[in-house]
A and B are shown apart, each in its own frame.
Chain A
Amino acid sequence: MCLAIPARVVAFAADDQAVVDLGGVRKQVSLALVDGVELGDYVIVHVGYALSRLDPEEAEATLALLREAGALLEPASGEAPA
């Protein structure tokens, strides 16, 4: 019910609407709840409305942390992680 998905804004339309790309599928969503969205931005879309912008730098930083978690352990444990 509360699930929302990241989508890329590919065009703007009238009345605070935008066209987003969801992994190849195009959909119209409302931008009425978020200010300052630019073309190419990723937004989190839920029930037809963008709820917030997705910060690509923060996404990268999180992924880097996740990669680090496994990398730190591998040589020390001497065995391939199960």
Chain B
Amino acid sequence: MKYVDEFRDGTLARGLAAAIRAEADPARRYAFMEFCGGHTHAISRYGVTDLLPPNVRMIHGPGCPVCVLPIGRIDLAIRLAFERGVTVLTYGDCLRVPASDGLSMLKAKARGADIRMVYSAADALALAQREPGREVVFFAIGFETTTPPTALVLQQARALGLANFSVLCNHVLTPSAIQTILESPEVRQFGTVPLDGFIGPAHVSTIIGSRPYEFFAEEYRKPVVIAGFEPLDVMQAIRMLIRQVNEGRAEVENEFTRAVNRDGNLKAQALVSEVFELRRSFEWRGLGQVPYSALRIRAPFAAWDAEVKFGLDYRSVPDHKACECGAILRGVKRPSDCRLFATVCTPENPMGSCMVSSEGACAAHYNYGRFRDHAPDNGRSTPPATIRLAS
């Protein structure tokens, strides 16, 4: 596929790997966090870790909206379906996220709740239009990438005066999550994660641009490189981060110039700010309450806000005691440090949210990296002859 395959080319990957090895100073260690699950997925799936020198370590961050969705929010959707008899529509990724009482939306559906999967917010709106007798709630989730489509359907619902449609808004914001990782007390408690820089979000940045990350570069003296989701994009970003560290710079650089600029998509931003406002605080799975990290629906759209319409009250529910998602999302632990990993907790039967989506750190490691744990040299000292190019 054009603009995809070129960025998965094995020969170029080997050249880039050599360039990274040449630029990484053997006398120092580098640790970079990729914020987005899309990067985590690319790194695991294409064996990027195997192409890096042993002193360059990638740490998986919290950047998967499914992984950071707390149990209590999914409980709200399940209660709506069971107790109020509404039809809940959501993206496929959300269906298997573990909720209270051993349930998930999928298991609730099997027990008779009317919960269905949609491919787009527009499909949810269309169902409400087609069946005016049915109460339809769109369970909206996602970072800045998925928020503009939700804003659009809310606007359309208001324009149509659609009385049987509402949105349960779970949209969260990436910059505040990065800030939380840098300031988290848990990180201090576990000892600091030695983060030398971030690979910044790809598709989120098509909307918000690269400007919001300038704050981190300045305030925390951490380099940020915005990168595309293909393996060569990630490798080039690592190379750019190494170079910044070597030169003592902490700037925002953009590897993904083919889709991202400094300002982002202004039309989408205007739409989002017309429909949504900041929540004071929102609970993230694994990170706890994060101030000003999520959006809620503005008052003029209250009639389409499921939380207002159904008077929902949020109850926080602790994660499974043995699940280490919280530490993993902060970069303090690795999936294999969790005692449930690949035994009790698998992608077929996830205990924690990091095992649900293929972008989650545990699922990515389960599918593509598990065997490396048992390699005698940890699999990293000799780069393989070929990059794995499954597509």
Residues of chain A touching chain B, judged by Cβ–Cβ distance below 8 Å, are 1-6, 8, 22-23, 30, 32-35, 42, 44, 46-49, 51-56, 58-59, 61-63, 65-67, 69-74, 77, 81-82
Contact = CB atoms under 8 A, between A and B. Distances in A.
A45 B75 CA distance: 30
Nearest to B20: A69
Given A49-B148, A81-B18, A2 B258 contact: no
7 contacts: A4-B203, A6-B3, A33-B148, A47-B120, A52-B260, A74-B18, A81-B18
Interface stretch (B79-87, B139-147, B336-344): B139-147
B160 to A, nearest CB: 13
Contacts of B204: 2
Interface residues of B, number: 65
A54 B260 CA distance: 8
B373 interface: no
Interface in B60-84: 63-66
Contacts of B382: 82
A1 B66 contact: yes
Contacts of A47: 91, 119-121, 142, 146, 149
A1 B3 contact: no
Interface string B1-43: 1111011000110111111001000000000000011100100
B385 interface: yes
B254 to A, nearest CB: 10
Nearest to B266: A35
Contacts of A82: 14, 17-18, 382-385
> Which of A1, A46, A65, A74 gathers the greatest number of chain B CB atoms within 10 Å?
A1
A2 B12 contact: no
A3 B39 CA distance: 10
B97 to A, nearest CB: 11
Contacts of B137: none
A48 B146 CA distance: 10
A77 B170 CA distance: 51
B2 A8 contact: yes
Nearest to B36: A2
Contacts of B14: 70, 81-82
B224 interface: no
A75 to B, nearest CB: 12
Contacts of B2: 6, 8, 23, 42
